[in-house]
Structure 1
Amino acid sequence: MTSLFKKAGIVLLAALVIVQFLGPAKTNPPVEEGRTLAANLTTPPEIQTLLKRACADCHSHETAWPWYSHVAPASWFVINHVNDGRRHLNFSDWAKYTPKQASHKLEEIEDLVKRREMPLQSYLLLHSSHAQLSDQDIQTLSGWAKDARSVLDEEISREP
């Protein structure tokens, strides 16, 4: 019986070593400054700081990959989570959004932050020391998103 457990342990250990070399790749594509949120929309320094602190790891090409993002199978969850976040909203490639899309993204920011659905609770479990938004942060960020959306919506209404 002990021999069976030893063999199972060796197989399990070998499998854990092998999976470290499999799975999705971590990427931080180069950031083209002209395509960023700050380059395409009035974004005060206070807002840039809030976005970098609470949102950039999942919603930009400037992800700070934590130690556990290098260890499978946790790395698979983190990498897929970041890729999914970038697909939904990417501050490093804001220029890809039409004014209408950008307005919708700002509406989502305002709504999700107010409802405390962003940052995600799963992210806050390990990053609450810097990513947790205070009531004041939420008010500041959602107010900025609402104001920026109003400016965009006015521009959209003037388009032919």
Structure 2
Amino acid sequence: MKILKKILVALLIVFVIMQFFGPDKNEGDMASVDAFITETNPPDAVHEILKNNCFDCHSDVTKYPWYSNITPVNYWMADHVKHGKGDFNMSGWESYSVKKKDHKIEELIEEVGERHMPLPSYTWTHGDLTDEDIEAIVAWGKQVRAQYSAQIQPE
């Protein structure tokens, strides 16, 4: 029993020490999504959906809940944000070609339409999109794609 107690104390000490270390946070400026918002011109309702459900993982602006300060949760969240921004980064929109923008919006329509986004781990604490939210995002996405398709030159 003494060994078990020593192991538990050692684990507690390691856990406490881990709390002093963590990944860098993704706390950029809302201005980083201005180019995306200006170019894609989402209706107010869609803009709110994006802000409340997408910016956290797909832009340089993440709103962190209280539990994100607890290690190892902070590393898990940092990994989600890193992968989210790697797949689709609204803050990096200006650097995308028109063809890439069209493809990213196509993926957005597919992922949201098939309810793959937002991730279940995100919706547990933030709530899920309603059917109306999904319809609004898909309709807006199709309009944006039509604009990009008109700009893409045939090869």
Do they superpose with TM above 0.5? yes
Contact 2:33/2:91 (<8 A) preserved: no
The answer for unaligned runs of 5 or more in structure 1 is: none
Q: Would you say 1:71 and 2:70 are equivalent positions? A: yes
Output the aligned Cα RMSD: 1.9
List per-residue Cα deviations over 1:80-139 (Å, max 9, x = no partner).
1111111111122211111000000100111111100000111111211xxx11111111
Tell me the matched-pair count: 155
- Aligned twin of 2:54: 55
- Aligned twin of 2:115: 116
List per-residue Cα deviations over 1:53-74 (Å, max 9, x = no partner).
1111111122111112110111
Q: 1:1-160 counterparts in 2 under 5 A? A: 1=1, 3-33=2-32, 36-128=35-127, 132-157=128-153
Contact 2:28/2:62 (<8 A) preserved: no
Contact 1:40/1:94 (<8 A) preserved: no
Contact 1:37/1:91 (<8 A) preserved: yes
The one-letter code matched in structure 1 to 2:6 is: K
- How far off is 1:147 after superposition? 1.1
Instruction: Using the aligned pairs only, state the percent identity.
Output: 35
Matched residue SS, 1:143: helix
The answer for unaligned runs of 5 or more in structure 2 is: none
1:6, 1:67 → 2: CA distance? 30
The one-letter code matched in structure 1 to 2:112 is: V
Which shifted more, 35-44 or 137-146?
Answer: 35-44
- How far off is 1:23 after superposition? 4.0
Matched residue SS, 1:107: helix
